């Protein structure tokens, strides 16, 4: 069975500073990896996804993530955060079969300091 670890429960970043949110996964085959964002009282919005190919993937809102197979990681980055980026961020892994659902990490709560 697959699993996802997000080691940082909370992260505080100053507005305009760079951001990196960590995600490690465990899955025996090639993973399908996702980052979702959940703003207060909102549903989940997909930021980006990795299936195969280029290990650096670009997403919406200026986010990117890098897949590193050797480290079983899929860290999310943004060069300069905005106050509107304050939210809960979830990393997820899927099998790609379309029938198994996703396994989510516990989430990282991002706080933006003015």
Partner 1 sequence: SAVISQKPSRDICQRGTSLTIQCQVDSQVTMMFWYRQQPGQSLTLIATANQGSEATYESGFVIDKFPISRPNLTFSTLTVSNMSPEDSSIYLCSVEEYRGFAFFGQGTRLTVV
- Provide the binding-site residues for partner 1, judged by CB under 8 A: 32, 34, 36, 42-44, 46, 49, 51, 90, 92, 94-107
- Supply the minimum distance, in Å, between the C-beta of residue 34 and partner 1: 7
CB distance 19 to 108 below 8 Å: no
Q: How far apart are CA 42 and CA 50, in angstroms?
A: 24
| Nearer to partner 1 (CB atom), residue 85 or residue 103 | 103
| Nearer to partner 1 (CB atom), residue 76 or residue 95 | 95
- Supply the minimum distance, in Å, between the C-beta of residue 71 and partner 1: 22
| Nearer to partner 1 (CB atom), residue 39 or residue 80 | 39
CB distance 35 to 67 below 8 Å: no
- Supply the minimum distance, in Å, between the C-beta of residue 55 and partner 1: 16
- In three-state secondary structure terms, 52 is coil
Instruction: State how beta strands 108-113 and 10-14 pair.
Output: parallel
- In three-state secondary structure terms, 21 is strand
| Nearer to partner 1 (CB atom), residue 21 or residue 107 | 107
């Amino acid at each position: 069975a697959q699993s996802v670890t997000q080691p940082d429960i909370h992260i505080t970043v100053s507005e305009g500073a760079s951001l990196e949110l960590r995600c490690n996964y465990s899955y025996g085959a090639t993973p399908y990896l996702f980052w979702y964002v959940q703003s207060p009282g909102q549903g989940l919005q997909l930021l980006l996804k990795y299936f195969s190919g280029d290990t650096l993937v670009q997403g919406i809102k200026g986010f990117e993530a890098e897949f590193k197979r050797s480290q079983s990681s899929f860290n999310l980055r943004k060069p300069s955060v905005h106050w509107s980026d304050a939210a809960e961020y979830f990393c997820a892994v899927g099998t790609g079969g379309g029938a198994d659902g996703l396994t989510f990490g516990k989430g990282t709560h991002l706080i933006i300091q003015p």
